[in-house]
Structure 1
Amino acid sequence: MPTLTSITIYPLKSCAGLPLARATVEPLGLQHDRRWMAVRPDGSFLTGRELPALVRVRAVPGPSGLHLSAPDMPGLEVPLPPAGAPRLDITIWKDTCSAARTHADADRWLSEYLGQPVLLVHVDERMQRRVDPTYATPEDHVGFADGFPLLLISEASLADLNQRLAHPVPMARFRPNLVVDGCAAFAEDGWKRLRIGTVELTGVKLCARCVLTTVDPETARADPRQEPLRTLATYRRVSSRNGVMFGQNVTVQRPGEIRVGDAVEILE
């Protein structure tokens, strides 16, 4: 039976991954995962695709807010926005929703680090963003992740890819929330229902990969050979429209607790 070998959250969208030994799974995904996001003043979202320096921001959540740090920047404590905080209409791909503005100090800190005007927003209780109904139920919601609450990848799938690469890449290039071992390469493609700890998940859509996979999370530099995306395209392209697939997007059917080492039971 497969086992869960890694749990990772990305509290600020596109920031450095934060590994955990255990986590609470909420309807929106892992607790604290992608609950903060950098946006342009017009509310359009920003990611490491266009601003690779974001991958070197370390964002650590706490009970009262978020601690930010980055190379050559002082650390900053960002408090959770209060219930009556100003709001901003933000866009993520085709979705538009209302998010809470955060402290002006955070806007200044991110703007200085990224070299352009940036605002920091937060997923609060008032924000509602539905998962694409093509792949999920009307009850499924998501925070600031690209489209789905969780991303799962198997270690065997990465090993299969690395055998084809001149220079192997770490799992961090693909920014999964959950990594599993003990299954065949790409077995996760076919998982429709699974249980980990007390949590039940539904596999809904393979993950189409983008240029962010070519960015080294340690240096924020893009691979000039466009690897591993270039190699993945030779054998993991579903169609020209759907793109290059690696990993399974999942939604949460029953929230609960998970731990590294938990068995991953494939229900369907």
Structure 2
Amino acid sequence: MLGDNARVNTTIVVSTAAALVAAAVVTTWWQRRRRESGRMPTKWRRVGELAELRIYPLKSGAALTLKEAECTDIGVRTTGDEAVKLRDRFFIVINEAGVMKTCRQHPKLFFIKVASGEAGTVIFRAPDMKDLTVRIPSGTPERKNYFEMWKEEKSESVDCGDEAAEWMHKFLNLKEDDKVRLGYHQEDVIPRRDCDKKPWSLFRKQYNRLMRYDTGAFSDMAPYLLINEASVSDMNSRIPSGKQVAPSWFRPNFVVRGASPLAEDDWNYIKIGDNAVFQNFKPCLRCVVTTMDPETAEKDPQMQPLKTLRGYRLLKDAKKQQLEGELAPAMGCYMGLRQSGTVRVGDPIYVGERAR
């Protein structure tokens, strides 16, 4: 017969062993899930075509519509003969207190266009402003700006000089004491944003396809955002007022045409054209920017389409809701690059078939 102490010890040993086995099973399942999600498909199914291709050289600035682009780890880059290749969201406006300026607070940013200039320069254009020519920083920077991005992520940029700062301050019509700087993402100087560090390490625990460097230059998070045209049309049909918004209101890089509404929720690997392969690692959660017309910078008084999206596109997972917000609806998917390539408007878009 076992004494009371012996029975207690046996129970503890059995319970501990069971807990260890359960933990091992969960760990094995998670590791297997990561491995399987990281396998490049060998079979592809066509789901549509690339209808629109855009970059936003200045964060929160005007879109630049392209016919062709190169896909790099850090985002879309222009091709062609221009002296400077423009990239997605590689300029940013920040104030001297280390706070980034976005169209959420400063809608006039929508009107700032960026074009390639002569060798080593880019040109900023805005209504009622003289063109601003900025020389692309290179070598050891004279000044770096330190600031916080979304979710209090610590970041930095290379400063573009006093003339650019004064131009931005004047166009945005800021208060005298609200000084701003124009920052540039110089790849050989600015550290790569790391998803193994906070805040993105918290997201990696919830989204198993999110890899360590699935980040853009100064985008809120991912280097690529895809929108399904049919999902936008489906959303428009639900807006009570009959208001219609275009995919451009969601500021995507890619717009796919020909897919079923919300089909993108279930896509894993996505191939555009012959070579460029991406992985859908999480839905894009939307904010008040979706209520702003990118052509006029006017905000919809009924908070559409955000209000309608909240009626049917909120996250269902409680842990993800806690991480991302209970009232943030999904539209579009964030993607990381898995194989580089050139994409063109009209290219077929495929999704990987699961191995059987």
Aligned residue among 244, 251, 260 for 1:168 = 244
| Count of equivalent residues | 268
Matches within 5 A, 1:138-217: 138-165=212-239, 166-197=242-273, 198-217=275-294
2:121 corresponds in structure 1 to 65
Does residue 168 of structure 2 align to residue 113 of structure 1? no
> Is 1:3 aligned to residue 49 of structure 2?
yes
Residue 234 (structure 1) aligns with: 311
Q: Which aligned pairs between 1:21-60 and structure 2 lie closer than 5 A?
A: 21-31=67-77, 32-60=87-115
Q: Which amino acid aligns with 1:199?
A: A
Structure 1 counterpart of 2:55, one-letter code: I
Structure 1: 5+ residue runs without aligned partners? none
The offset of 1:176, in angstroms, is 0.4
Partner of 2:131: 75
Query: Could you give the per-residue CA deviations for residues 153-187 of structure 1, whole angstroms, max 9, x where no partner exists?
Result: 11101110111221101211110000001110011
Structure that is richer in strand per residue:
1
- Structure with the bigger percentage of helix: 2
Q: Which has the larger radius of gyration?
A: 2
Distance in 2 (CA, whole Å) between partners of 1:246 and 1:265 is 19
Match of 1:253 in 2: 338
Amino acid at match of 1:99: S
Report the residue type matching 2:137 in the other structure. P
Distance 1:7 1:177 in 2: 6
Cα pair 1:29 1:149 within 8 Å, conserved: yes
The normalised TM-score by structure 2 is 0.72
- 1:129 aligns with 193
3-state SS of 1:138 partner: coil
Answer whether contact 2:103 2:109 (CA < 8 A) is retained.
yes
Runs of 5+ consecutive residues of structure 2 not aligned to the other structure: 1-45, 78-86
Please say if residues 277 and 339 of structure 2, whose CA atoms lie closer than 8 Å, have aligned partners that are also in contact: yes
**Moved runs in structure 1, 4+ residues, more than 3 A?**
none
Q: Which moved further from structure 2: 235-244 or 145-154? A: 235-244
Provide the secondary structure at the position in 2 that maps to 1:231.
Answer: helix
Question: In 2, Cα distance between the equivalents of 1:56 and 1:140?
Answer: 28
Considering only aligned residues, what root-mean-square deviation do their CA atoms show, in Å?
Answer: 1.5
Give yes or no for contact 1:79–1:103 (8 Å, CA) kept in 2.
no
The answer (yes or no) to whether the contact 1:65–1:80 under 8 Å persists in 2 is yes
Q: TM-score, normalising length from structure 1?
A: 0.95
Counterpart for residue 84 of structure 2: none
Following the alignment from structure 1 to structure 2, what is the Cα–Cα distance between the partners of residues 40 and 260? 37
Query: In structure 2, what is the Cα distance between the partners aligned to 1:228 and 1:141?
Result: 27
Task: Quote the sequence identity (%).
Answer: 34
SS for the counterpart of 1:54 is helix
